[in-house]
Amino acid sequence: MALPTLTPASNTSVSILPVTGNTDNVNTTANPLPYGIYVAKASTSAAATAFKEGASDQVAYVYQKLGGDILDLELTEYQVYAAYEEAVLEYSYIVNIHQAKNAMSDFLGNPTGTFDQDGEIVRGNSLSGSNIENRYPKFNFEYSKRVANTLATEGGFGGSTPIYSASFATAVGQQDYDLQSIIEKTSRTDSTSPFYGSVTNRKVTIRKVFYKTPQAMWRFFGYYGGLNTVGNLSYYGQYADDSTFEVIPVWQNKSQAMAFEDAIYTRTSHFSYEIKDNKLRIYPDTTRVSPTTMWVEFSVQADAWDEGEDKDGVRGINNMNTLPFENIEYLNINSIGKQWIRRFALAVCKEMLGNVRSKFATLPIPGSNVTLNGPSLVTEGKAEQTALRDELKAVLEEMTYPKLAEETAQEIENTIKTMQGVPLPVFVG
């Protein structure tokens, strides 16, 4: 009986990592990169070429480091290119976070951008192509200034919050007045008012309550205490104004003026008041003689989300998410960064190879089995990636702007100590 003729055929495609890469194969139509940020979407052809060369060189690096000259590596060159792209993106991510920590307080309120699916600023945007992530910002202390501006307003010595004034007529025997209702009504009905339409249902903050006295009272206190007046206050009341003048320095004259101006509001009034929830109570009750009209200064509680006429940056950068940072240009990464990228891409390739070999724990060979090291490669690859991230973050942490300032101060201090022990030169004529 004739033996049957067997013609076995393998349907398994064997993938073996080549010795070197090929720049022409980086991001092809058949085998595109996952994102193609540094090739298809590169800002210049030179940038795309540089990335292709770096990715191609990575193939030889992986081949040698993982023992490709001894054992077959079940990887494709396209997987290496993808790992290289991932490494560049990871480096850009960590460095951008570092820069965000460096100067976030100075970025706040500045214009933000509109970003595409890759995190790149949409072309045509005012910030497109500006590479802000690679710039050294000016220190403008935006956060501190925003807080200080509010504190200045509350303290009554500056700020940008508008301060309005309004008046209301007093009534005989009436002590209580709802200032919120009075001001809100004026805001709705009086189109000539400077705060017309600005109050609506917002709460106002009363800052001062006052009334105006006859001009004779203002001349007495204003002129006598404000312009070239008596320096020796102990003579007050003993002589006429033109008989007790004393030559005094300007600062003393100004100090007297400020004291008398303050006295106008604290010493001359026969009335006092208290405010609870913008409801004013006057002590004692007023008469038709004086005062017939009371004045208040107030501010309107601002909407935290409304941008004022001064364009105070409410719609600008508010946190890390709105920073106009793009992926760092490949050409702007120096030798330090590129070596980190090579090492990280190698760790990613090790994890990939481990996942491939983990599909089959063992392979049959004549008379025995071969155990593959897939799980150990996965563990090693992930551990190396974590270690590289920690290494980069630790280095960057030592290079934050406050840390550099501390090191500079220490260097100056050490220099001073050193120079104290150096004898001074003796001049010989």
Question: Do the domain assignments include residue 384?
Answer: no
Q: How many residues does the chain have?
A: 429
What long-range pairs does 406-411 form, CB within 8 A, spacing at least 24?
Answer: none
Query: Do 223 and 254 lie in a common domain?
Result: yes
Query: Do 254 and 344 lie in a common domain?
Result: no
For position 225, what pLDDT does the model report?
43
Question: Do the domain assignments include residue 417?
Answer: no
Q: Which domain holds residue 44?
A: 15-158+326-378
For position 239, what pLDDT does the model report?
42
In DSSP terms, 296 is beta-bridged to 166, 209
- Reported as type and span, the H/E element at residue 102 is helix 77-107
For position 399, what pLDDT does the model report?
93
For position 4, what pLDDT does the model report?
67
Average pLDDT over residues 116-124: 91
The C-alpha angle 208, 211, 212, rounded to 5 degrees, equals: 130
More confident residue, 95 or 207: 95
Question: Do the domain assignments include residue 418?
Answer: no
- Report which of 29, 30, 32 is spatially closest to residue 55, judged by C-alpha positions: 32
Query: Do 352 and 249 lie in a common domain?
Result: no
More confident residue, 246 or 114: 114
Query: Do 69 and 141 lie in a common domain?
Result: yes
Query: Do 29 and 136 lie in a common domain?
Result: yes
Farthest CA pair distance, the chain: 150
More confident residue, 389 or 263: 389
pLDDT over threshold 80, residue 385 = yes
Cβ-contact 63, 19 below 8 angstroms: yes
Average pLDDT over residues 267-287: 78
Rg (CA), the chain: 39
For position 241, what pLDDT does the model report?
45
Average pLDDT over residues 248-270: 66
C-alpha 233/C-alpha 114 separation (Å) is 67
For position 71, what pLDDT does the model report?
86
C-alpha 291/C-alpha 169 separation (Å) is 9
pLDDT confidence tier of residue 244, bands split at 50, 70 and 90: very low
Instruction: Report the percentage of the chain scoring pLDDT > 70.
Output: 79
Least reliable range by pLDDT among 193-202, 212-221, 340-349: 212-221
Query: Do 20 and 152 lie in a common domain?
Result: yes
Cβ-proximal residues to 327 (8 Å cutoff; 6+ apart), any chain: 37, 38, 88, 89, 92, 118, 119, 120
List pLDDT tens digits, range 31-77. 999 999 999 988 899 999 999 999 999 999 999 999 999 988 999 99
3-state secondary structure of 362: strand
Query: Do 267 and 220 lie in a common domain?
Result: yes
Least reliable range by pLDDT among 71-75, 192-196, 238-242: 238-242
Name the phi and psi angles at 220, rounded to 5.
Answer: -60, -50
List C-alpha distances in Å: 239 to 236, 244, 365.
7, 7, 123
pLDDT confidence tier of residue 221, bands split at 50, 70 and 90: very low
Query: Do 166 and 99 lie in a common domain?
Result: no
pLDDT over threshold 50, residue 401 = yes
Question: Do the domain assignments include residue 276?
Answer: yes
Question: Do the domain assignments include residue 178?
Answer: yes
Question: Do the domain assignments include residue 153?
Answer: yes
DSSP 133: G
List pLDDT tens digits, range 353-378. 999 988 876 665 566 666 678 899 99
Q: Which residue has the tokens 């590596």?
A: 73
Query: Do 22 and 154 lie in a common domain?
Result: yes
Query: Do 36 and 147 lie in a common domain?
Result: yes
Number of domains in the chain: 2
For position 238, what pLDDT does the model report?
44
Least reliable range by pLDDT among 55-64, 86-95, 120-129, 264-273: 264-273
Using a cut of 0.95, tell me whether the model's pTM lies above it.
no
List C-alpha distances in Å: 93 to 106, 119, 154.
20, 11, 41
- Report which of 337, 350, 351, 348 is spatially closest to residue 392, judged by C-alpha positions: 337
pLDDT confidence tier of residue 231, bands split at 50, 70 and 90: very low
List pLDDT tens digits, range 407-422. 999 999 999 988 888 8
Name the phi and psi angles at 249, rounded to 5.
Answer: -70, 160
pLDDT confidence tier of residue 216, bands split at 50, 70 and 90: very low
For position 366, what pLDDT does the model report?
61
For position 325, what pLDDT does the model report?
94
Instruction: Report the percentage of the chain scoring pLDDT > 90.
Output: 43
Query: Do 170 and 288 lie in a common domain?
Result: yes
C-alpha 213/C-alpha 217 separation (Å) is 6
pLDDT confidence tier of residue 380, bands split at 50, 70 and 90: very high
For position 154, what pLDDT does the model report?
76
pLDDT confidence tier of residue 222, bands split at 50, 70 and 90: very low
Question: Do the domain assignments include residue 368?
Answer: yes
Question: Do the domain assignments include residue 244?
Answer: yes
pLDDT over threshold 60, residue 191 = yes
Query: Do 152 and 166 lie in a common domain?
Result: no
